[in-house]
Every structure is written in C-alpha cells, then in structure tokens.
Chain A
Amino acid sequence: MSTFSKSIIKRLTVMTVAATLSAAAAAVDISGAGATFPYPIYAKWADAYKKLTGVGLNYQSIGSGGGIKQIKAKTVTFGASDMPLKPDDLKAAGLLQFPMIIGGVVPVVNVKGIQAGQLRLDGAIVAGIYLGDITQWNDPKIKALNPKLALPGTAIAPVYRSDGSGTNFLFTDYLSKSSAKFNSSIGANASVQWPAGIGAKGNEGVANMTTQTDGAIGYVEYAYAKQNKMAYTLLTNKSGAVVAPSAESFQAAAAGADWAKADSYYLILTDQAGANSWPITGASFILLYKQPSDAASVGEALKFFAWAYKDGASMAAELDYVPLPATLIAQVKKTWTTEITSGGHPLWSGT
C-alpha cells in the first residue's frame, strides 16, 4: 500500500473516529495500569494515537502486581502484566489476557579481553554462576564452551536486579528451566532470594555495577544492552544452537511457540526450541474484562490495540521492542471477537 493511500486511510479513520466521538459527545480516554517493562513503547504509541484520533491513553506504569490489582478493582480499563496469569485465575476474575509486545533479556559481562558477542554460555552455566557454584571465569565448564577464548582466573561477581521486575521473572524462569537445582532452591519470580552476588536497582543499576566491577556478570533488557553497547554473551538454546540476541531471534522464539494450544495465552516464551530462538524472550500481556461494565472504553481500548499491532510495529522496532508475529496477531483478534462481549454482542468486529 502506498504512503499516499495509507495517509488517506489514516485521515478517514480520524474523521470516522471524530464523528463517532461527536455522536457520543465526549472523548473517552483509555486508562490502563501495570507493567513497567513495556511502558516506553506504550507511551510512544499513546502519543502517536492521540495525535491521530484524539483519543488519549493514560497509562500508569506502577508494576505488574499493581496492574493486576487495579484491573481487579476495576479502576482502569485494562491491566498490563509481564507475567501471564494462570487460566484459573483469569476465569475466576472474568478476565481475558493476550500478548501485546515482545522483548528479551540479555546477559552482559565485564571480563578483561572479552568483547560483545564473543563469550558463549548456556542456561546451566548461568544458573551455576548465580547459585554461587561457578565462581571463576576460567571454570572448566565455561572453558569447554569457549575453547578459543583466553579466559582469566578472575572471580565472578554476579549482579542481579533488586527491584521486582518482569526482567527478573524471565531470567529466573529461564534458569529454573535450565537447572533443576536452581528450580528447587530458588525458583522463578519477579523477586527471588538470591544466594550470591549483589543487587542493583533497575537496568541502569545492573549495567553500572557490571561495567564497574571486574569479572561481573549481569542481565539487562535488550534495548539497554544495545544502546549502551555492553558486552552481551551468546547463549546455547534448547535445540543446541548458539544464538545472539537480536530482534530476529526474539521473534523466532515467539513464532516458534505453540500459541494455538496455550490456554488463555498462558505461555512463557523462555527456553523455546528452534534454530534461531533466543532463550530469554518474553511477552508482555494485556488484561481485559470479558464482559466489561464499561463497554465503550473497552471498545476504544481494542481499537487502540488493533492500531498498535498494525501501525505501531515500526515504532516498537525503533525502541528495540519486537512486534508480535502476524499469525499471533490474527489469533488474538479472533479471541477478541469470540470472548469480549457486551449484552451478548461482540465488542470487536474488525479484522
């Protein structure tokens, strides 16, 4: 489609929306609250969408836990969470969830002589490091994966995120899947009890501690590692392939996952099989009521999400987020049509 016809359609959309609005005689603003990880992209989308349609999005990035509480208290139109809710919890609350955007977590290191993309690690080794079992960079297990690298005998200083976050959840979930010991002694959560290492606040804290401390390893969101040119590592994934973190490898993990079989999109994207799948990938989710009491604003929210899937993809890529694969978007829209109703009628009838 040419830019010209695109802009005509955009303008038509504006006019239609404006007409609808004047009919309703009030501009309905969409309100949402939750996850901090997708906040930058939601904010960018909201800004662009407001200019386009006049409909504003008021998103409070108060954290996934807060988002779940707010949607259950019905103070917002939608909630956002970095961890999918279990199907039973959703049913009990009458909620629907679907993935909105994808991101990845990247291990970063500060080892003398090691550049970005040189060091190879796997889940078991990273789990061993964070358990305090692997304590030196020249450990035979690390050497076995990196026969050509000259690894120093420096002590490993593990750095973790101290604030509860989706990043922590993805990272610990991946380590739990990779190591039985990590799974039984620590487990996966937004905050866990780390047996070793030092806790830094936020991506910036982890990045700073890692760059400052010789022999440190940390983990940050992909955008952060990329924009700060940090020494990221390669990881061996479930299929045994060595992958580098990139938009393509995150999308490969999302596309390779079997969403069709996942009940209520309850799927955690870590440790997916596939030749290109980055193993610490995750989706951020939206929560909506299936029979909303405020059907008008949910209708507006669905329009916004549909627009974000379609026109927001390039903005997401600019901020190093990864848009959902097209097949998944189609599936999500089908779910909207069949499951979100008001007075027995579906609230979403578009494509």
Chain B
Amino acid sequence: MAIIDPRHAAKQLIYERVFRAATLCAAILVLLILGGVAISLLRGAWPALQHFGFAFVEREIWNPVTDEYGALAPIYGTVLTSVIAMLLAVPAGFGIALFLTELCPPLLKRPIGVAVELLAAVPSIIFGIWGLFVLAPVLQRYVQPWLIAHLGGLPVAGALFKGPPYGIGLLTAGVVLAIMVLPFIAATMRDVFDTVPQMLKESGYGLGATTWEVMWNVVVPHSRVGIVGGIMLGLGRALGETMAVTFVIGNAHRITASLLAPGTTISSTIANEFTEAVGDLYTSSLIALGLLLFLITFSVIAAAQAMLRRLERRAGVAV
C-alpha cells in the first residue's frame, strides 16, 4: 500500500506548478510595470531632451512663455527639501524607536506605537493644508524672524537664513516632509529593533553596558539592514511627495541660498503646471522632469543597496 496516494500526489504537483507560475507572473508583472513606466517616460520626455540636450539639467530657467525649460531649480528643491526632512526625521525616528523598544513603560508602548502608525495614515493633502494654515504662520511670526536675527549674521552659514520671513518656502517644506516621513522611519526602526534577540541585549547589559552602549553596539549593528531600509522608505516618500509640498514650498523656479526663500520641487512643478500645459515642448519638459525624479529615486535606492553590501562585507571580515 502506497503511503501517498498517487492521484493526490499528481494533484499536488499541479497545484505546485500553478502556484509557482502565478508567483512568477506576479514578480514579472512588477518588472513589466517598471519597464513600461521607464519607456513611456523616456518616450514622452524625448522631444524635450532632444531639443535642450544636456543643458536641460543645467539651466535654472523655466519660462513657458518663451518655451525654454531647465530642470536645475526643481532638482535643487527636491534634493534640498528631502535632505532637510531626513536631517530632522532620522534622529527623531531613531529616538522614538529606541524609546519604544527599550525604555518605554509598557503602559505607554501601545498608545505611542498606534499614534506613530496613525500619523502614517494621514493623507498628504491634510499635511499640506495644515502646513499652509497652521505651521506657516507660526514659522513666519516666531521661528523665521528668530532665525534671521540670530543666524542670518553668521559668516557662510548665515546665507542659509537670509531674506524676508514668508512663512512658506524650502525650510517649511522640509519640516512638513519630516513629519510625513517620520512614522515610516520610526515604525520600521521599531520593528527591526524588536527582532534583535533578547539574549544578545541581555548579554550586553550583563557585561555592564549602558542602554546607549547596548543600543549602539548591539542593536544597531544587528538591525542595520532594516534601519537603512526604513530611511530609504522615508527618503523615497520625501523625494516624491507632491501635494503637501506644493502647498508650502512657495513654487518659485529660482535657486536661492536661503532656506527661507520659496523654491520648487520636481513633483510640485508637475502638479502645478501639467493640467494647463499647452504645447508639445512644455508637456514634454514636464514629463522629462518626471523621468529625472525616476532616475534620482532609482540612484538613491541603488546607492543604498551598494552601501548595505559594503557594510555586510566589512561585517563579514570583522567576524
């Protein structure tokens, strides 16, 4: 008597194959979609790239009247606001995750954890309107005048805090972005910190290490892949965020040293101008901006992967 019924086994085999094919299809679909996006962006952007050549990414001008376009100001704004957001959100997210996993009294753990996750569920338009109606006036009345008075006079760094306090601008956009990406970074970091085996941490404490030492020497090295993943998730969102930024960045195609000045980002330019863009070169230039954002995001992710691989190799040697 057979242990396995052959009919049953044949059925299982078919199930197995179908399941394998289905997952393969799903995986290939992602590649197809990504390839399709890249191809259609390239096709749409081609007239502009052909017309302006490499100068498209070098020039600051963006003039729909004379049909002359350059992407430097949006690229600058995109990168700068994302950098501000990461500078604010990564330490804060790290702090939240550390507190929640190591220091938080059990009673508070759930409410704070849920609050962080709820922050991620707020639609971006709400952040935009809040930024415009609540945050911008506060920055304009209290924070920016202080920055201008106390930091505007510094050599070199002072240039970052010059100009009239408009309330909206690159700094405000960076702050709003920081709040928006914070839950992603904090939640991811908390989850990876939780995966660190309790025994490792207790060994650290057993050797007389402080909380900070355990955190820095045990938890962080053990979960660095997850930490970098969380930061990249946040950075990806910050680079591509559209609506909230459009409301608070001031939408000026200019590059100014001051963080208080209005600027623009790639996605907010597209959101602002695509609907009323008449003329092939104009539309094509906007699509070319989209292509650039695609490339920037892609290279950020590629750089993160490369960094992780290097970290891993070094860790391997150390052991």
Contacts and interface: CB of A to CB of B under 8 A. Distances in A.
Nearest to B271: A163
A193 B275 contact: no
Interface of B: 61-66, 132-133, 136-137, 140, 164, 166-169, 246-247, 250-253, 262, 264, 268, 271-278, 283
A36 B276 CA distance: 9
Given A192-B63, A201-B247, A164 B132 contact: no
A63 B275 contact: yes
A68 B61 contact: no
Given A157-B166, A198-B168, A192 B272 contact: no
A64 B278 CA distance: 8
A186 interface: yes
A162 interface: yes
Contact of A163 (B132, B164, B253, B272): B272
B272 A201 contact: yes
Given A65-B283, A162-B272, 5 more contacts: A63-B275, A65-B278, A198-B166, A198-B250, A199-B272
A155 interface: yes
Contacts of A157: 164, 166
Nearest to B136: A212
Contacts of A83: 278
Contacts of B137: 212
A205 B133 CA distance: 9
A192 B62 CA distance: 8
Interface in A210-234: 212-213
B276 A199 contact: no
B253 A193 contact: yes
Contacts of B275: 36, 62-66, 163-164
Nearest to B137: A212
B252 A198 contact: yes
A86 B278 CA distance: 13
Instruction: Give the 10 A-B residue pairs with the shortest CB-CB distance, closest first.
Output: A63-B275, A164-B276, A199-B251, A162-B251, A187-B65, A190-B276, A193-B63, A163-B272, A65-B278, A63-B276
11 contacts: A163-B246, A163-B272, A164-B276, A190-B64, A190-B273, A191-B277, A198-B168, A198-B250, A199-B252, A201-B272, A212-B136
B240 to A, nearest CB: 18
A257 to B, nearest CB: 23
Interface of A: 36, 62-66, 68, 83, 155, 157, 162-166, 186-194, 197-201, 205, 208-209, 212-213
Nearest to B128: A201
Main secondary structure of the interface of B (DSSP, over half): loop
A304 B253 CA distance: 42
Given A157-B166, A190-B278, A198-B168, A205 B247 contact: yes
Nearest to A81: B278
Contact of B64 (A155, A163, A189): A189
Contacts of A164: 64, 272-277
A63 B167 CA distance: 29
Nearest to A61: B275
B65 A65 contact: no
B63 A208 contact: no
B69 to A, nearest CB: 10
Nearest to B65: A187
A314 B251 CA distance: 37
Nearest to B279: A65
A271 B96 CA distance: 59
Given A155-B164, A163-B272, A199-B262, A208 B250 contact: no
Nearest to B263: A199
A316 B12 CA distance: 68
A189 B169 CA distance: 24
A163 B262 contact: no
A213 B140 CA distance: 9
A271 B231 CA distance: 54
A91 to B, nearest CB: 17
A181 to B, nearest CB: 14
Contacts of B277: 65, 164, 190-191
A208 B166 CA distance: 12
A213 B251 contact: no
A190 B65 CA distance: 9
Contacts of A64: 275-276, 278
B278 A209 contact: no
Nearest to B276: A164
A68 B278 contact: yes
Contacts of B274: 63, 65, 164
Contacts of A62: 275
Contacts of B167: 209, 212-213
Given A189-B64, A205-B132, A212-B136, A194 B252 contact: yes
A198 B169 CA distance: 9
Contacts of B262: 198-199
Contacts of A163: 246, 271-273, 275-276
A103 B166 CA distance: 30
A162 B246 contact: yes
Contacts of A165: 276
Contacts of A198: 166, 168-169, 250-252, 262
Nearest to B252: A199
A165 B276 CA distance: 6
Contacts of A66: 275-276
Nearest to A183: B65
Given A193-B63, A194-B252, A201 B166 contact: no
Given A64-B276, A163-B272, A193 B250 contact: no
A338 to B, nearest CB: 28
Contacts of A189: 64-65
B273 A191 contact: yes
A199 B66 contact: no
B274 to A, nearest CB: 8
